[in-house]
Amino acid sequence: MAANGSMVIPGRAWSVEAAMGHCVIWPGAAVPALPADRYDGRAYARELVELLAWGVERGINGIDILHGERGGYADPGGLLLEDEACRLGLPFAVGGHVGHCFPAWIPAAVTASRPELCRVDADGVRRPTGNLCTADPEALGRALGMLSMLHDRHPAARLLQVFPDDVVGGSWCHCARCRDRSPVAQYATLVAAVAGVVEARRPGTQVGFLLYHDTLSGLPEPAAVGVSGFLPPNVYALFAPRERCYAHAIDDPACPRNQAYWQHLVRAASLFPGRVDVFEYYGDTILWHYFNVAIPAVIAADLQAYHRLGVREVQALAFGSYSVWAHGANLAAFAGLSAGQAADPDTAVARYASERYGHRAADCMVTYYQALAAAQCGYLSMCDYPEEWTCDLRGVGPASPHYSAHRERVATARAAFAGLPDLLAAAARHGGGSREAACLHAEQVSLENARTELDLLDLRLAIGERATAGGAGAWTEAETAATVAARQGQWDLAQAVPAEIRGQAFGALAP
């Protein structure tokens, strides 16, 4: 596929979770930590350093280190990545979700005796979880103190990411001072205050303002950010269109869902002139789960759109070796195209295929990835769903008239998947060394698990379809048992893949 415009972006970065042991990957699970036989934090840290080196070879020139629930404390992956970024002279950001870190910003021992520092939920109950009350001077001051300490612990960081809680339509404060303030206004109050503090302590430090879920519009009331009505100039927007449609480019005029997201980004470009970054999900283990998503052509079109709009940096979320296994074609295409090392997605994928599977199998693997992308288009298509529908491929969302059509697309995709094993078999006949053979076998496993995931997606859509028609929206015992059995089968099949290919993040995909 030929490129129709420049795809080069000044900033090309990985965005990584510095540790996986606290992450929840399977919806409905509540896993505070993964058992030692599934997750080795030190091994994951080494994977992240290797991922950075792999990316730098392909044009990656920065990294966003998300410390998540630990609030920036000593995640081994984060510290190793920071050292490596400094050694390579790469700019990096630190931070993560403030809401998840609430006990760190205002310790539980304090909120237990001072419940007035907690946010008030929509029912009027004080909650020591979620986003803090930014209208309370003491709560805001305590958060600023902890964020200042985080800022000081990373003196070489270019940017401090201050994310709100990762939920939709919740975790905001509804106290008397906040109930008439939008989520964007509550969030903007915190970000503006943080921006002032870090500028005073270390001039030139930037602060991220996440455009995501409840804050996607980026339009706070003027009172939240000062008389000018704008956030301070050291605040940079980070546009994160997680629930967009990945079957089409972000600016595709024929995709209503993406057009809604695109308009948010265009608006952000006017609100944050020259200060817009994009957080993309091209290698997201959480979003894609067991799907081996390959969308290089969509990535190329995205980059053209982001380039035209003047986006400063595009980040691709990745989770170490597992993301390379399941979504390596995406990550390679993103890095090569955004850096100008490849002129079109097929060239980028061909280089990746040659390096991973051997040069004799490269042509077959390019054909395979093209066929995989074509087959996936149907189930990835979210065009019909309105913007307020904020679910994804992993779970059943609210009632929607679009589940039936989505199931038809899944059936079409399942039929198209039937021919993909033959393409992998053709690549395998071209030989290669033991490493190349192991990578090919891993792709065969990934494809088989994706075919199972299609069946599970059809089941989830069927449950949503049933609920929309007025039936039971809850899972039956048989549906739950079938899902658990399928997940166990996926897990068992993947154990044949070498650990160094499978990666530590795979341990979070609980069967």
Residue-wise pLDDT tens for the chain (511 aa)?
Answer: 445 578 999 999 999 987 765 443 333 333 345 555 677 878 888 999 999 999 999 999 999 998 654 444 556 678 888 999 999 999 999 988 655 555 567 777 888 888 888 999 999 999 988 888 999 999 999 989 988 988 898 999 999 999 888 888 778 999 999 999 999 999 999 999 999 999 999 999 999 999 999 899 887 766 666 645 678 999 999 999 999 999 999 999 999 999 999 999 999 999 999 999 999 999 998 888 889 999 999 999 999 999 999 999 999 999 999 999 999 999 999 999 999 999 999 999 999 999 999 999 999 999 999 999 999 999 999 999 998 888 888 776 788 999 999 999 999 999 999 999 999 999 999 978 999 999 999 999 999 999 999 999 999 999 999 999 988 778 899 999 999 999 999 999 999 999 999 998 887 665 5
Same domain assignment for residues 311 and 397 = no
**In angstroms, rounded to a whole number, what is the distance separating the alpha carbons of residues 500 and 69?**
26
Same domain assignment for residues 99 and 129 = yes
DSSP per-residue letters across 174-220: -STTTTTS-HHHHHHHHHHHHHHHHHHHSTT-EEEEEE-GGGTT---
Q: How far does Cα 228 stand from its chain's mean position?
A: 33
Per-residue model confidence (pLDDT) at position 69: 42
Same domain assignment for residues 373 and 504 = yes
Q: Assess if residue 413 is contained within a domain.
A: yes
Query: Residue 59, by phi and psi: left (phi above 0), alpha (psi -120 to 50) or beta?
Result: left
Handedness of CA 312, 318, 321, 324 (dihedral sign): negative
Q: Assess if residue 449 is contained within a domain.
A: yes
Structural domain of 394:
365-508
Same domain assignment for residues 374 and 312 = no
Specify the 3-state DSSP secondary structure of 163.
strand
**In angstroms, rounded to a whole number, what is the distance separating the alpha carbons of residues 492 and 511?**
9
Q: Are 166 and 100 in contact (CB under 8 A)?
A: yes
**In angstroms, rounded to a whole number, what is the distance separating the alpha carbons of residues 188 and 168?**
17
Of 312, 343, 374, the position where a domain reaches its end is 343
**In angstroms, rounded to a whole number, what is the distance separating the alpha carbons of residues 119 and 139?**
9
Per-residue model confidence (pLDDT) at position 432: 83
Per-residue model confidence (pLDDT) at position 103: 53
Same domain assignment for residues 307 and 374 = no
Q: Assess if residue 355 is contained within a domain.
A: no
Same domain assignment for residues 391 and 332 = no
Same domain assignment for residues 382 and 262 = no
Strands (E) across 195-343 are located at 206-211, 235-239, 276-283, 313-318
Specify the 3-state DSSP secondary structure of 243.
coil
Specify the 3-state DSSP secondary structure of 398.
coil
Strands (E) across 284-437 are located at 313-318
Q: Assess if residue 93 is contained within a domain.
A: yes
Helix (H) or strand (E) holding 94: strand 92-97
Per-residue model confidence (pLDDT) at position 451: 96
At 358, give phi and psi (nearest 5°). 100, 145
Same domain assignment for residues 229 and 328 = yes
150 token code pair: 């985080």
Same domain assignment for residues 312 and 391 = no
- Total domain count for the chain? 2
Same domain assignment for residues 392 and 272 = no
Output the domain CATH number for residue 297: 3.20.20.80
Per-residue model confidence (pLDDT) at position 392: 85
**In angstroms, rounded to a whole number, what is the distance separating the alpha carbons of residues 206 and 194?**
10
Same domain assignment for residues 287 and 410 = no
Q: Assess if residue 360 is contained within a domain.
A: no
Q: Assess if residue 263 is contained within a domain.
A: yes
Q: How many Cα atoms within 13 Å fall on the side-chain side of residue 135? A: 19
Same domain assignment for residues 320 and 386 = no
Closest by alpha carbon to 1, among 363, 354, 340, 343? 343
